[in-house]
Amino acid sequence: MGMKNRHLSLLLMAGFMVFILPVCSSARTHSNIGISARRHGEHREFKDLPFGNRDHSIGINYEFHEATAFWQFGLAYTPSLTIREGETEAPDYALTPEINLIAKDRMYHGGLGVASTYTEIDGGEWTTVYWQFILGLRFELSQRLSLSGYGYYPFERWGDLDSFRFKDVEFGLRLGARF
80: Cα separation from own chain's centroid: 18
**To the nearest whole number, what is the mean pLDDT of the chain?**
87
Evaluate if residue 44 carries a pLDDT over 50.
yes
| pLDDT value at residue 164 | 86
Distances (CA, A) of 171 to 64, 82, 168: 22, 18, 10
Evaluate if residue 15 carries a pLDDT over 70.
no
* Distance (Å, whole) CA 127 – CA 117: 5
Q: What is the tens place of the pLDDT at every residue in 87-103?
A: 778 888 999 999 999 99
* Distance (Å, whole) CA 179 – CA 169: 31
pLDDT band for 8, please (50, 70, 90 cuts): low
- CB within 8 Å of 173: residues ≥ 6 apart: 36, 37, 147, 148, 149, 150
| pLDDT value at residue 133 | 96
Distances (CA, A) of 29 to 26, 38, 79, 138: 6, 27, 34, 17
* Distance (Å, whole) CA 147 – CA 28: 21
Name which residue leads in pLDDT, 11 or 69.
69
Query: Domains along the chain?
Result: 44-178 (2.40.160)
Average pLDDT over residues 55-60: 96
